[in-house]
Amino acid sequence: VIRTAAVVGTGLIGTSAGLALSGRGVCVHLLDVDESAARAAAARGAGTVGRPEAPVDLAVIAVPPGLVARVLEQEQRRGLARSYTDVASVKSGMTSAVLRGAPRPGSFVGGHPMAGSERSGPLAARADLFEDRPWVLTPTPGTCRSALNDVLAAVSLCGAVPVVMEPEAHDRAVALVSHAPHLVASLMAARLRDAPEQTLRLAGRGVKDVIRVAGGDPGLWTDIARANAPAVAAVLELLAKDLLAMTEALHALAGTDTGAGPAEDALATVRETLARGQDGWSAVHGTEGTPPGGKVTLTVPLDARPGELDRLMHSAAESGVHAQDIRLSWSGTSPRLSASLAASLPTAEGVRRRLADGGWQVSAAALT
Amino acid sequence: VIRTAAVVGTGLIGTSAGLALSGRGVCVHLLDVDESAARAAAARGAGTVGRPEAPVDLAVIAVPPGLVARVLEQEQRRGLARSYTDVASVKSGMTSAVLRGAPRPGSFVGGHPMAGSERSGPLAARADLFEDRPWVLTPTPGTCRSALNDVLAAVSLCGAVPVVMEPEAHDRAVALVSHAPHLVASLMAARLRDAPEQTLRLAGRGVKDVIRVAGGDPGLWTDIARANAPAVAAVLELLAKDLLAMTEALHALAGTDTGAGPAEDALATVRETLARGQDGWSAVHGTEGTPPGGKVTLTVPLDARPGELDRLMHSAAESGVHAQDIRLSWSGTSPRLSASLAASLPTAEGVRRRLADGGWQVSAAALT
């Protein structure tokens, strides 16, 4: 159990951890070389400024990645805490540095909360930053079980979901799902830097989302890219190949009016790449609670009166069926539009009853 | 003035236009080769299914880009409308095809509403899809003024902001702010397709935003990429160069512990690319109402009591000052934290008064 904690480095992550732990009754001490940052964190309610008089249960080292090993060594010598963790987004190199230099390596568990913002500093901190987010922990064979349990307790108090991984596997994973996407967004954003004003006026939500993370601190991301350089380079290398193939395909298409011959191959390259992209999108989004078990299709006849479909979509949404799970069909023989709703097996009966209560004629329920 | 309209093609854009125009009192006829799509659009309230008996004021040809020229030619022969526009996202090739084939080229104005969604079809349509979005129009020297005015009236009824451009300039602009970012997002998403489940679990809001548009219809985007192939290839070619330079820099950094010699150059490449990306991000976001004129700095002393800063940030936000315009400072000589708020010249006095009313001691107001 964690009753006292110290946050070393009151930036976005450290202050958010302080807010979350303080909110759950932990007595948090805030330390930062920039005392105004620690004071700002305290003013937000993340804890009190200054060193504890006795060792705390857990110290969260939330300094930039390049400083973790040194700060950890210092703080362990001073006896700041019983257990230690960090929040650096690259783990393998740092873990070896820590194991080499720290006086008490067994009391340290590497950590990486998968949460953040394109904004930084204590003012951007939020108590719920880690809520339901994965928080990777990278214990080694030499890690004490009590240290691991202290860190697990803190992760739970922050509302995050602990995920234990090997440091190297973590680094490869974040290269793919975080660092490479960040650099790609930055490269795309960099291309927009000198665009004419009229061109920028046409920028919509699409490109803004693609480049959103590029608004982040270049210094921090340079450190991250550097610390995870081999894994990130491996992803970017494959991406550069794909990009060159796409560029070649577009050159082959330029100026051709029909899809015959070489243009047909080029078109297939573009189409297949986009389809692979859609699969990747589904893979990333599919992890968010695809319900187990089969689906039930509920069919509802409609009169095609204005507003009727919106009313059905509203009822469906209220009973947990999303718009993408609704299909419309219309047959010439019976001149009526009907909507098919796909509901997961455990919820289907509830959906059926709620629609029927709403006056809808739920005409069929077929297992698919 | 537009009193009657026809929408040919009741997908996301056509149905949204139907919803917006119907909502403003226009009598809209809905046509689609897939009658169930037209019926779904009607059920949403976008108009009535079927051909008008007399020519309507404006026909919005909202079919896939590759079909616009053919559908326009057919509908002009049938006399569907007085004026015509389309919504295809590539304009130069199509404009020449239209001018070649259409019986009444002067009654057509090319159009491209800069709005959309990764979802498609009439169910995803929204009456406010175009609200405050740019809607590009590409009239040619042969365009009738009355046709241009009909289309401008419809754009206004949809709540969009008309922007007149040359077809070629439009295509270069959208290659940079829409098509290339889309393909980049797809390429990144494609790399995630075969990632292990544990890796995908770590995917957060960052990568999800980067790849969001990759969820879009591959068929539609293949058509778009094909139609604008030369302009998109030009952007991707530059991007591939940047990506290779970044990859090389990361390879040079891999395995080096210090930033000396060649590693220093590589580090500079990474840092400068990220900084250019941040500039590009600012360029894209800077177009959203940077207030004209100078800024005023208001300084407020704080007691660093928990919650105090949140209360100040709340008051500031209410008076139009955002968190990124608030800086904190703390000096050792007077042991107090203070917050500096940057407010634009026209609003500064209102902010000052509101903060003072809230009990804050606004101690200084310096022009910067």
Compute the distance between CA of residue B152 and CA of residue A253 in angstroms, rounded to an integer.
34
**pLDDT the model gives residue A296:** 67
- A357-366, B28-37, B317-326, B356-365, range with greatest mean pLDDT: B28-37
Strands, E, within B143-214: which ranges? Answer: 161-164
Helix (H, G, I), strand (E, B) or coil at B208: helix
Q: What integer is the mean pLDDT of B3-22?
A: 97
Of residues B123 and A236, more confidently modeled: A236
- Tell me if A250 and B229 make a contact (CB, 8 A cut-off): yes
- Tell me if A232 and B212 make a contact (CB, 8 A cut-off): no
- Tell me if A278 and B186 make a contact (CB, 8 A cut-off): yes
Residue B190 distance to chain A (closest CA, Å): 4
> Chain B contact for A103, CB < 8 A?
no
Residue B42 distance to chain A (closest CA, Å): 6
**pLDDT the model gives residue A243:** 97
Which chain A residue is nearest to residue B310, measuring alpha carbons? Answer: A44
- Tell me if B207 and A284 make a contact (CB, 8 A cut-off): yes
Residue with tokens 């407020």: B300
Which chain B residue is nearest to residue A250, measuring alpha carbons? Answer: B229
Low-confidence spans in chain A with pLDDT less than 70? 117-118, 255-261, 287-296, 304, 324, 330-336, 344-349, 363-368
> Chain A contact for B188, CB < 8 A?
yes
List of residues 6+ apart from A359 with CB closer than 8 A:
none
**pLDDT the model gives residue B290:** 41
> Chain A contact for B283, CB < 8 A?
yes
DSSP character string of B297-347: EEEEEE---TTHHHHHHHHHHHTT--GGGEEEEE-SSS--EEEEEEEETTT
Q: Which of A131, A250, A253, A330 to mutate against chain B (most B CBs within 10 Å)?
A: A250
Residues within 8 A of A (CB atoms), B 19-58 only: 35-36, 39-40, 42-45, 49
**pLDDT the model gives residue A229:** 94
**pLDDT the model gives residue A83:** 98
Compute the distance between CA of residue B247 and CA of residue B259 in angstroms, rounded to an integer.
17
**pLDDT the model gives residue B346:** 58
Residues within 8 A of A (CB atoms), B 328-347 only: 328-330, 337
Residue B220 distance to chain A (closest CA, Å): 9
- Tell me if B277 and A185 make a contact (CB, 8 A cut-off): yes
pLDDT greater than 90 at residue B350:
no
Residue in A199, A200, A284 nearest the CB of B200: A284
Residue B311 distance to chain A (closest CA, Å): 9
**pLDDT the model gives residue A336:** 67
- Tell me if B329 and A36 make a contact (CB, 8 A cut-off): yes
CA distances from A271 to A26, A258, B117, B136, B194 (A): 54, 15, 19, 27, 18
Q: Give me chain A's average pLDDT, please.
A: 87
**pLDDT the model gives residue B364:** 53
Residue in B40, B163, B280 nearest the CB of A189: B280
Residue in A173, A185, A218 nearest the CB of B198: A173
Residue B323 distance to chain A (closest CA, Å): 7
Q: Which of A49, A3, A12 minimizes the C-alpha distance to A154? A: A3
Q: Which of B94, B58, B95 minimizes the C-alpha distance to B75? A: B58
Residue A216 distance to chain B (closest CA, Å): 7
Residues within 8 A of A (CB atoms), B 166-185 only: 169, 172-174, 176-178, 180-185
Lowest mean pLDDT among A107-111, A116-120, B122-126, B158-162: A116-120
Query: What residues of A are in contact with residue B287 (Cβ under 8 Å)?
Result: 197, 200-201, 203
> Are the C-beta atoms of B213 and A206 separated by less than 8 Å?
yes
**pLDDT the model gives residue B289:** 41
Residues within 8 A of A (CB atoms), B 193-252 only: 193-204, 206-216, 218-219, 221-222, 225-226, 229-230, 232-233, 235-240, 242-244, 246-247, 250-251
List, for residues B19-30, the tens digit of each pLDDT value.
999 999 999 999
Which helix H or strand E contains A281, and what residues bound it? Answer: helix A262-286
**pLDDT the model gives residue A1:** 87
- Tell me if B181 and A123 make a contact (CB, 8 A cut-off): no
What percent of chain B stands above pLDDT 90?
59
Amino acid at B358: G
- Tell me if A236 and B246 make a contact (CB, 8 A cut-off): yes
> Are the C-beta atoms of A163 and A113 separated by less than 8 Å?
no
Residue B127: count of CB within 10 angstroms of its CB: 21
List, for residues B182-220, the tens digit of each pLDDT value.
999 999 999 999 999 889 989 988 999 999 999 888 888
- Tell me if A202 and B178 make a contact (CB, 8 A cut-off): yes
**pLDDT the model gives residue A292:** 39
Query: What residues of B are in contact with residue A172 (Cβ under 8 Å)?
Result: 199
Of residues B152 and A99, more confidently modeled: B152
Q: Which of A12, A119, A270 to mutate against chain B (most B CBs within 10 Å)?
A: A270
**pLDDT the model gives residue B105:** 94
- Tell me if B206 and A178 make a contact (CB, 8 A cut-off): yes
Q: Please, which residues bridge with residue A331 across strands?
A: A335, A336
